[in-house]
Structure 1
Amino acid sequence: MSEAFTLEGFDLDAFVAATLAEDLGPDARDVTSEAVIPASAIFEGVMDSRDAVTVAGLPIAAAFFRALDPDVEIELLVRDGDRVAAGTDILRMKGKARAMLTAERSALNTVQHLSGIATMTRAYVDAILGTGATLLDTRKTIPGLRVLEKYATRMGGATNHRMGLWDAAMIKDNHVAVAGSIDAAVRRAVEAGIARIIVEVDRIDQIEPALDAGATHLLLDNMKPPTLRGAVTLIGGRVPTEASGGVRLDTIHAIAETGVTYVSVGRLTQSAPAADIGLDFASA
């Protein structure tokens, strides 16, 4: 499989270099590998998943190994976005042992974290199949990792919400409190020429003022399914609707069945556990 990996807004070489520099420290040394492993040693290794997961981040893992040994032989055995059973081999490599062992932790950390996100995301996507709703992620990401984490949610089947503060307005309760009212806040966004204006409402009586002022998307915050259903009926398809707030795997199906366009889930990037993926080496 091809290992070419490009992602808008993400510099793979810089990420790999910074991550390895963090691990190698000011002297750029892996003292354990230097002391224990002969410089000429060659290791073959296989990365495998110990649990059933949705894979994400394999091309990035390959980049870590290649950064320390440009001649390493790497074979990606599955693709990002693939679901694999427990015990599946997902990557095979053969290269200089010191380099492989030095890059191991950085490569595994990345694949475990991103595959954990993709796996949780896939479970949520599966839970709303047939409802017509689309799963969205949020901006609840680890600083510096947003582009990668949102990539992982896509690999799990979700759709990215805003990438940041720049690509849409999202008027929340604190914005409304400072602006004075929902309609005042929305009108100012309209006057500023913002095309996408998402407005958070947590009461039914906020819906019409938001729409009248020019909202293009309503985020229905922390509403129970009966209230959501009534809100969707009132909105009547005038703008897309999004259910948000405290959504869990055991509640998302009932929420999605209310007719909302989207359901957003912060825990996809905020709380996903790392996938159990390991790397075992064997002498060539």
Structure 2
Amino acid sequence: MSRRHRHYPDPEVEDHFEDSTQDEPSNSLVTSTKESKGGRGPNVLMAPVPEKDRAVITPLNKDAWITNPMKKNVSSTITCLIKAHYPGTYRPLDKHGKQVPEDEAVVIAHYHNFSAHTRITILKEFLLCFKFADGREEDCARLFYRKAVERFSQALSHEKSEAKRSLEKHIENMRATELQQDGDAPSHDDFDVDEPQLWKAFPPYWIEQKWWDMLCDLWSDENVKKVSAQNSKNRMEGGGVHHTCGSRSVAMHKQAMIIENAGTDVDDIDVFERTHRHAKGKGQYANKKAE
């Protein structure tokens, strides 16, 4: 396994990413290709756990599961494994049902385009840290796939946001430098932070530059932009996120509350308050819809 895809703590790798970012403002968008700040540095997976000590995952429905004992890093483990095994491209089938040539490979922007072999590898490595409840293995595997789809989508969305923030910072650095040198900072309004082509200078650590370029090209497509804009509009019209669960499901929050309550069951209203108000159920509601 390459160093870039190493799963577990490695001081040498961590030091490499710590020292790899250096801001050098200029009139171009040529920057360091790796950043360790702002959430773009490598995540570190938990080491494999002896089978007898692995937390047991039990599905509650098609969207939620709980772990026994309670664990907070289930979702982050899935995300780390997806990043570590991201294949970059895949070869779709042509009209004759055969894979297209390698030079016509398409960038992977959805988890279902990961090869079956890669998806199985991700699941197997996940099961080195957790285990599925006896007799519920098939239900757990289906739920794992749904969560992997979601986590990969969220990972790409996060990297888009990070690229925009990096671009904004770079533009501000250019303005500050030119102001010091010339006494008057020219306009940089021609840099549109929402333009994916300008994100190419800020790839995340887990995506090779050539794949990141292909993703930016995909996101620049007008049809893709229209779909993305419509999806954003639908989310806004739906009131946006109206809970405070984070990456943990309501069921997992309830499980944590029962543990805090010395094993005694908790009222569903209390669970709603915990998962829809800030400050662990004591602050303001997430939004008007939740209230």
**TM class by shorter-chain length?**
under 0.3
Q: Which protein has the bigger helix share?
A: 2
Q: Which protein has the bigger strand share?
A: 1
Q: TM-score, normalised by structure 1?
A: 0.25
